[in-house]
Chain A
C-alpha cells in the first residue's frame, strides 16, 4: 500500500553493473518506500535478475556506476551477509542445493544470526523447532523438510516454498523475490502468494521480479516497472501488468522509441 508517512527504504540512482565485463545494467533509478509492493517486469535478458543479485551483493557482478541507498546508508559498502543482516532478503530464482546440511540447522543459523543482529533472543534447537513448524504450517509444508538437506532433491515448488519460509523466519525490511512464481503450479502459486501477502506490512516492502501477470492476481502491486535493456523504461500502476499480459512487451519499447523520436 502507498502510505503518506512512509519512509524511503531503497533509493537506486543511475545504477550500472557488469558481469564478465559485459554491461547488463545501464542506469537504473528506483525508489521503494515502506509499505509498498513493486513488480519488476520485462522480457528475458532485460536485467531483472541481475538487478536483484546486484542489490543482494552477488560477487560475480561489478557495480560500475551509480548509488544504492538502503535506509539512508550506502548499500554498496556492505558485504552480502551484512546486507542480509540489515534486513535485505533475496528470494532466489534458483535456490541453491547444499548437500549434507540439514535444512533445520541452516534455517536456525540464519534465523539466529539475524536475531542477534537485531539484539533479540536466539532460539535453541527445541524452541526453534516449535517456531519453525508453525511457520511451515502456514505454507503447507511437510515437517520432513526440516530433516532434509537444504534444497537437495526438492521439487521446483518445494524450493520456492522454502524460500518463502526463510522470508517468514527472517522478517526482512526489503524482500526481493526473483521469479518466485516460476515453476509453481496454480495451487502452489496461491499458497506462496498468500504467504507473501501475510508477510507484507506497513514497515516493509516487497519487490517482485516476474515475467507474468499471474502472480499479480494474488499479490497486487502498487507500482509496476517494465525493464528493457538494462533500464526501467516504463512505470505504472497495477493495471500496467494487465496491459502487458494482453499486449506483450514490444509496444513499451516502441512507445519509448517514438517518444525519443518526437523529442528529437
Chain B
C-alpha cells in the first residue's frame, strides 16, 4: 500500500470546541422521577407524561439490540444526564437577541445562519442542547399555514396535532432506543404542512450536542397533509469530548394522499479521534409512513461522523401507488463503525421503492449496509430496486452488506445489485501519470462513486457534502 493511501484520512475534527453558556443540567440517572422532572420542566400535559412513562416501562423490559455489526462497551444509562437546557431567558423575537456566544458557535461551525437563512431562503429552527432558542421565517411560513417550530412549542400550541401523530409511525415500544427516546426526549422539530400547500422553501435544522455527557434525545415529527409537499434538511455537528455521548433520536414522517416529503441529512457528529477514543453513539430511528395514495417519502443521508452509527431510515408504503426512496452515502474512517441501511415495507398496491446505498470505508473502520425489503401479501404489483455499493480505501477496513428480502406476493418484482471496489495503487498511479495528485484523484473517485446520491441533495447541501467528504479524506496525502 502506498503512503498516499496509508495516510489518507487524518483531518482533525474542526468543530471541537465547547460553547461557554450556562446550562441547566438535570442530575445524572434515569428513573420515573427523571421523566416527571423533564415533563414538569417543559410544563407538559398529562397525556404526554403518560406517553413517556409508558415508553419508559416498556424500555425497562427490553434488551439492547445485539444484532448490529458494531462493538462498543455497555452503556451505563444511569451515568447520563437526561436534561440540559441553556438557562431560561426571555423569549427571543429576532436573531439580534440570540446570545452572541451562541452565534459565534455557529460561525465556527461554518453556519452563518442569519446570512445563510436570508441568502438561501432557508428557515432554520435551531436546536441547542434540547431547547429551541430561535425560530426564523416562522411568520412567512405561517402565512401559508405551515407550522414549523420546536416540538415543545408544538405540544403547547398544537397539542391535538402532536397527540394525533406522535408515536403513530414509531410506537413508543418499537425498539430499545426508540423506547428510550419516547421516555426522555427533550426537544426537536415539528413541521406541519396543511392540505394542498407546497412549502415555499427548504426547512432546515442544525442540531448540536453541547453539554458533556448529556445524551441528546431529539424527537422530530413531520406531517404533510393531502397534496402537500416539503423538503427538510438536517445537519449535525458536535463538539469534541473524550467520553462517548449517546444520541438516540426519533424522526417520524407522515405523508397523506398525494403528499411528498423529502428528508435530507448531512451527519458529521464527532467521530472520535484516530485511535477510536470518544465520539458519538448515533442510535437513531427514522421512519416515514406513506399513509395516503400516491404519496412519496424520500430519505437522503450523508453519514460521515459518529463513532457508531446505527440507523435505518425506513418507509412504510401503505397507500396504493406510494413511493419510498433511500439514498445513502456512509463514510467511515479510523475506528468508526456504521451499521446503516433502510427498510421498505410494501403494503399498498403498486407501491415502488428505490434503495441506493454507497458505503466508503477507510482506516480501520467497519461499514455495513443492512436493508430489508418486505413485500406483504396485499402489495400487488410492488416493485423494488436496490443497489448497494461498497468502496474500500486501504487494507485494514471492512465492508459488509446484509440484504433481507421477504416477498409474499407473486406479482412483486425485486431487484438487488451489489458491488465492492477498492481504490487501488494502480488507479492512483493512472491519475498521477496524467498529472493529477492523489488527494484530487481520491476526491474525484469518491465523488463519482457517490454521484447518484449527491444528485438527490438540494444544491447547497450537495456542495457541503462534497466538501465534507473531501475534508474527511484529506490529510497527509502524497
A-to-B contact residues, CB < 8 Å: 56-60, 79-81, 83-85, 89-90, 92, 95-96, 98-102, 105-106, 109-110, 113-114, 117, 149, 166, 170
Contact in complex: B448, A109 (CB < 8 Å) = no
B421 at the interface (CB under 8 A from A): yes
Known: A81-B433, A105-B448. 6 other contacts (CB 8 A): A58-B429, A59-B425, A80-B432, A101-B445, A105-B444, A109-B444
B451 within 8 A of A: yes
Which residue of chain A lies nearest to B419 when distances are taken between CB atoms in the complex?
A99
Interface pair A96/B430, CB less than 8 Å apart? yes
Complex interface: chain B residues within 8 A of A166 (CB): 434
Establish whether residues A106 and B427, one from each chain, have CB atoms under 8 Å apart when the complex forms.
no
Q: A170 to B433, alpha carbons, bound, how many Å?
A: 11
Which residues of the partner chain B approach A85 to less than 8 Å between Cβ atoms? 435
Contact A59 B2 (CB under 8 A): yes
Closest to B358 in A: A100
Chain A residues closer than 8 Å to B212, beta-carbon distance? none
Interchain CA distance A89-B433 in the complex, whole Å: 7
Identity of the chain A residue whose Cβ is nearest the Cβ of B429 in the assembled complex: A58
Given the known A-B contacts A79-B478, A92-B430, A95-B430, are A113 and B445 also in contact in the complex, defined by CB atoms under 8 Å?
no
Q: Kindly identify which residue among B421, B425, B435, B451 contacts A84, using a CB–CB cutoff of 8 Å.
A: B435
Central interface residue in B425, B426, B429, B433, by most chain A CB within 10 Å: B433
> Which residues does chain B contribute within 8 Å of A84, judged by CB atoms?
432-435
Known: A79-B478, A109-B440, A113-B435. A100 touches B430 (CB 8 A): no
**Residues A90 and B435 in contact, CB atoms below 8 Å apart:** no
Q: Are A80 and B433 in contact (CB under 8 A)?
A: yes
A-B contact count (CB 8 A): 72
Q: Which of B421, B432, B449 contacts A57 (CB 8 A)?
A: B432
> What is the CA–CA distance of A100 and B447 in the complex, to the nearest angstrom?
8
Please provide the 7 A-B residue pairs with the shortest distance between their CB atoms, ordered closest to farther: A100-B448, A110-B434, A80-B432, A113-B435, A101-B448, A96-B430, A84-B435
Closest to A150 in B: B430
* Contact present for A96 and B444 (CB under 8 Å): no
CA distance A191 to B148 in the complex (A): 64
B-side contacts of A58, CB under 8 Å: 429
Residues of A within 8 A of B447 (CB): 100
Question: For residue A101, which residue of chain B has the nearest CB?
Answer: B448
Most A CB contacts (10 A, CB to CB) among B421, B435, B437, B444 go to B435
Bound-state Cα–Cα, A96 to B429, Å? 9
* Cα distance A57–B444 in the bound complex, in angstroms: 22
CA distance A166 to B420 in the complex (A): 28
Is B436 an interface residue when CB atoms closer than 8 A count as contact?
A: yes
Q: How many residues of B contact A (CB 8 A)?
A: 22
Q: Which residue of A lies closest to B423 (CB)?
A: A98
Tell me which residues across on chain B come within 8 A of A149, comparing CB atoms: 448
Closest to B446 in A: A100
Distance of A60 Cα from B425 Cα, bound (Å): 9
* A106 with B444: CB separation less than 8 A: yes
What is the distance, in angstroms, from A98's C-beta to the closest C-beta of chain B?
6
Are A100 and B434 in contact, CB atoms less than 8 angstroms apart? no
Query: Which single member of A90, A96, A105 contacts B427 (CB below 8 Å)?
Result: A96
How far is B448's CA from A59's CA once the two chains are assembled, in angstroms?
A: 24
**Which residues of A sit under 8 angstroms from B425, Cβ to Cβ?**
59-60
Contact between B444 and A81 (Cβ–Cβ < 8 Å)?
A: no
Q: Which of B426, B437, B444 contacts A101 (CB 8 A)?
A: B444
* Complex CA distance for A89 and B432, rounded to whole angstroms: 10
Measured CA separation A57–B433 after assembly (Å): 8
Given contacts A59-B2, A81-B437, A110-B436, contact A99 B429 (CB under 8 A): no
CA–CA, A100 and B448, complex, Å:
4
Q: List 8 A-B contacts (CB under 8 A).
A: A57-B432, A59-B425, A60-B425, A79-B478, A84-B435, A98-B427, A101-B448, A113-B434
Question: A59 to B434, Cβ gap below 8 A?
Answer: no
Q: Which chain B residue has the least Cβ–Cβ distance from A105?
A: B444
Other-chain contact of B432, A79, A105, A106 (Cβ < 8 Å): A79
Contact (Cβ within 8 A) B433 A56: yes
Whether the Cβ atoms of A102 and B448 lie closer than 8 Å is: yes
Contacts of B440 in A (CB 8 A): 109
Given the complex of chains A and B, what is the CA–CA distance between A92 and B430 in angstroms? Answer: 8
From A59, A81, A106, name the one whose CB has the most chain B CB atoms within 10 angstroms.
A81
Chain A residues within an 8 Å CB radius of B427? 96, 98
Docked CA distance A166–B436 (Å): 13
Please indicate the chain B residues that have their CB under 8 angstroms from the CB of A110 in the complex.
434-436
- A95 and B445 CA atoms in complex are apart in Å by 16
Which A residues lie within 8 Å of B429 (CB)? 56, 58-59, 80, 96
A59-B2, A81-B437, A109-B440 known; A98 vs B432 contact (CB < 8 Å): no
B2 and chain A: residue at smallest CB distance: A59
CA distance A85 to B449 in the complex (A): 26
CA distance A92 to B433 in the complex (A): 10
